[in-house]
Amino acid sequence: MKDYKYVNAAAGAGASYQGAPGFLTQADVLNVLGNAATPRSDTFTIRGYGEARDASGKILASATCEAVVQRFAEWVDPADEVEIAIADLKSRSNKNFGRRFLITSLRWLNPNEV
C-alpha cells in the first residue's frame, strides 16, 4: 500500500484477510458500477392518460399509453458541441429544448395494466 503514496498512509493500512481494507479506490467503485454507468444519458418510462367527455361530463372514451424515452448527450441542434456548458450555448433551439430525446417504444395499455 505504500506504493499508492496516500497523504494519510494509515488509509491504506490493514490486511485484506482481516475483512474489508481500510481504503476505497476509484477502481473499486468503477468495477461495481462501470457496466451500469452511461455518461449523460438516461432511459425512463412515461405514462400518459387522456379521455373524451360529452357536454354533460360523461366519459365517452379513455386511453392510456406508455412510452420508453431515452435522453442523449447530443443537443437538439448539432450546432453546439456535446460537452459545451449550458451558459455557453449558441443555438436558441438548444437553449429552449436542451438535449435530444428518442422514443424507443410506445404501447397502449389495457385498463387492467394501469
Helix (H) or strand (E) holding 31, with range, is helix 26-33
Burial of 11 (0-12, 13-18, 19+ CB in 10 A): middle
pTM for this prediction: 0.54
- Residues 42-99: pLDDT tens digits? 889 999 999 999 999 999 999 999 999 999 889 999 999 999 999 999 999 999 999 9
